[in-house]
Chains A and B, each alone.
Chain A
Amino acid sequence: MQRDVGSLPLAPALRARLVAAGFQTAQEVLETGPCGLSKEIGISKEEALEALQVVRQECHSDATRTAGAPGTSRKCTALELLEQEQAQGFIITFCSALDNVLGGGVQLTKITEICGAPGVGKTQLCMQLAVDVQIPECFGGLAGEAVFIDTEGSFMVDRVVDIAAACVQHCQLIAEAHQEEDHLKALETFSLESILSHIYYFRCRDYTELLAEVYLLPDFLSEHSKVRLVVIDGIAFPFRHDFEDLSLRTRLLNGLAQQLIIIANDHKAAVVLTNQMTTRIGQSQSTLVPALGESWGHAATVRLIFHWDNNQRLATLYKSPSQKESTIPYHITPHGFRDVQPPAVTQNPEGTEMNPRKRLRREEEK
């Protein structure tokens, strides 16, 4: 009620007039009423009524916020947060080494960034995650849907078909081994067709379309409330050419990062971004570093760097608030993103090529 007039979300011209007329707090504005307001500032009665409604709404939401109403309040104790985090699911990557390094998989409500040289497997992992987020809950998944925003044109439907088919087959083998009711029922809806129908694909050709899409994303996610993963494949590509004004680029990227954090939190979704590598020319040597500059490094909560060592692909966890930095090898097979198989695999009753540790974890979760 004692809120300063200058901080109200009215049109700037209107605010300037209120301040010039001597109004200082929101209470004074509310007490005056529309007719008095219109006479004092010189605006029409309809405009005055509109302004009053805005002010009233602002004060009302302020009041509920201070009274601690559970819906609007954003404060909670660390114990509540701990319980939330432990109950939260992860999106598995089908590479158990990478899942372990990440602490279970790609976390919801956080932004994960994947940087890497060309051809190392960033888009492959994104496509794998878009399929994995849809695994039904009885198999240890999240039964969610995925939004895939593509800026580079590297999304290949045929590849997603292969990955999805392998995932369905994997679940079928588990269901056959365990023979439980809910497994078989879930398999009826978990088919190739349903997986593909729940990947929502947007192709953004330049940064304006990307900005527009991210503005519209909250509405889209409210309509499709089961979405648990938002992938932006190639956040670097539209921002790396045609930008003379680097400060504008930094501002736009920061704005994007903020919006994505809000989306991740509000809709309990994981946001995965892929970034390119660029050559930084030093005094005596040149190194490959993630693109988009130093300040962008702060945007993501978790940062993975994919790179090569001779012919082996490696993933390094470079930045994480809760996990240790480590490097693991991985493989891209015709079935998707997988572990590197050690030469002697332990006995596996189901006889699949999957890592046996993955099966154990699913049993524990049940």
Chain B
Amino acid sequence: MAAKKLRRARLSQELCERLSRHQITTCQDFLCLSLLDLMKVTGQSYGNVQKLLCKVSLACAPKMQTAYEMKVRRAVNPSSAFLSTSLHGLDKVLHGGVPCGSLTEITSPPGCGKTQFCIMMSVLATLPISMGGLNGAVIYIDTESAFSAERLVEIAGNRFPAYFDSDEKLFSMTCSVYLYRELTCGSVLKRIKSLEEEIISKKVKLIIIDSVASVVRKEFDTKLQGNLTERSNFLARGASLLKYLAEEFSIPVILTNQITTRLSNGPAIQADLVSPADDLSLSEGASGGRKRESGCVTAALGNTWSHSVNTRLILQYHDLPTRQIRVAKSPVAPFSTFFYTIEKSGFVLQDAAPKTTLPTKTALLGQVL
């Protein structure tokens, strides 16, 4: 929208030529100038320039919809609003599952099961709508080379034995998972930019990026000057591109993240400003005093990234082999915790009753790190 050429905004030909002599060719350039600059550049009077501004704004402004229209549209197609995770308790709390049209992040210490979760979701997305899937293809961008096709087939065969009863079904499922191995930030961004056409041609219904943190932290060392802003720029650009794709096609986007330790080197860590959405140590029973000494464990990639994702699920160790999955940030769900183990068929929830108020306190900080 911003790069829309002024010609298409229905300005007259000679005006466009005059503006292009001043290097103003897109709507973005036009709207960034002040009124006086515009008067100078177009040579028109104040009233005329205001009319021109209105015309150009009409060309780029978004369309209005009422909340009622949005609700009706969702009601018409209820199954397409969420991708069920097949974990019943989690789905109930999230009002259906992983929401379509927004970014969902899975964060955990290493080895808790992020890649397993992603592989499980890939299988689920290819299932027909009657079984809770989205009946579409999956784009899996792998930056750690952790994806295993054998595991994909194993989960599918064990989780839905009735459906995947023949080799052809398994084969067609694997044909709909498109794997891309990207090892640098630049190539990841390039891949995301190219996704728009692929989504339409391959009928993609789920995008997974595993993992964002590993490739970003490899390339950007935040202790070096200037890297912090470059990193934030890259993340923000990636986030807005993914949000655009998610909303435009109404599909879920799943990203994985790592954890980091935010060391406190002064008395003012402002621990109260770190929200429970970021703070993993809350469930590890860390008292206020201990936080100050050892620093707090939070999701990586910084504060700005936390603003960009809409839903955040945190996986953590509990009493091995049990682990816990926590809903840490969600516009529709309160903080809740569920326990699971990783079996042949993927994730299996343990308890029937989730804990929906404060996060549980288990002391496993030493074991985790």
Contact = CB atoms under 8 A, between A and B. Distances in A.
Interface in B200-239: 232-233, 236-237
Contact of B62 (A9, A205, A276, A309): A205
In this complex, which of A153, A200, A207 has the most chain B Cβ atoms within 10 angstroms of its Cβ?
A153
Interface residues of B, number: 75
Give the size range of A's interface with the partner: 35 or more
B154 interface: no
Given A118-B303, A197-B66, A215-B57, A255 B34 contact: yes
B353 interface: no
A178 B205 CA distance: 52
Nearest to B30: A208
A5 B270 CA distance: 58
A189 to B, nearest CB: 14
B291 to A, nearest CB: 11
In this complex, which of B45, B63, B95 has the most chain A Cβ atoms within 10 angstroms of its Cβ?
B45
Interface in A135-190: 148, 152-154, 156-161
B244 interface: yes
In this complex, which of A9, A119, A123, A284 has the most chain B Cβ atoms within 10 angstroms of its Cβ?
A119
A310 interface: yes
Interface in A192-225: 193, 195-209, 211-213, 215-216, 219-220
Interface string A238-268: 0011100000100110010000000000000
Given A117-B274, A216-B57, A310-B272, A196 B240 contact: no
Nearest to B272: A309
A308 interface: yes
A156 B333 CA distance: 12
B224 to A, nearest CB: 13
Interface string B1-35: 11000000000000000000000000110011010
B53 interface: yes
Interface stretch (B156-164, B173-181, B261-269): B261-269
A13 B43 contact: yes
Contact of A240 (B66, B101, B236, B312): B236
Contacts of A212: 27, 31, 56-61
A208 B31 contact: yes
In this complex, which of B39, B61, B282, B308 has the most chain A Cβ atoms within 10 angstroms of its Cβ?
B61
B146 to A, nearest CB: 27
A202 B64 contact: yes
Contact of A241 (B232, B243, B268): B232
A2 interface: no
Given A12-B39, A212-B58, A285-B270, 10 more contacts: A118-B303, A156-B99, A157-B74, A196-B67, A197-B67, A205-B62, A209-B2, A211-B32, A240-B236, A334-B334
29 contacts: A10-B45, A11-B39, A11-B45, A117-B306, A119-B276, A120-B275, A153-B101, A153-B246, A154-B310, A157-B67, A159-B332, A197-B66, A197-B68, A198-B66, A200-B65, A201-B67, A202-B62, A206-B240, A212-B59, A215-B53, A215-B54, A241-B237, A242-B236, A255-B34, A284-B265, A285-B267, A285-B268, A285-B269, A287-B270
- Which 8 residue pairs spanning A and B have beta carbons closest together? A241-B236, A9-B46, A208-B2, A196-B68, A212-B57, A119-B277, A199-B67, A118-B306
Interface of B: 1-2, 27-28, 31-32, 34, 39-40, 43-48, 53-54, 56-68, 70-71, 74, 81, 95, 99, 101-102, 232-233, 236-237, 240, 243-244, 246-247, 265-270, 272-278, 282, 302-304, 306-308, 310, 312, 328-329, 331-332, 334, 358
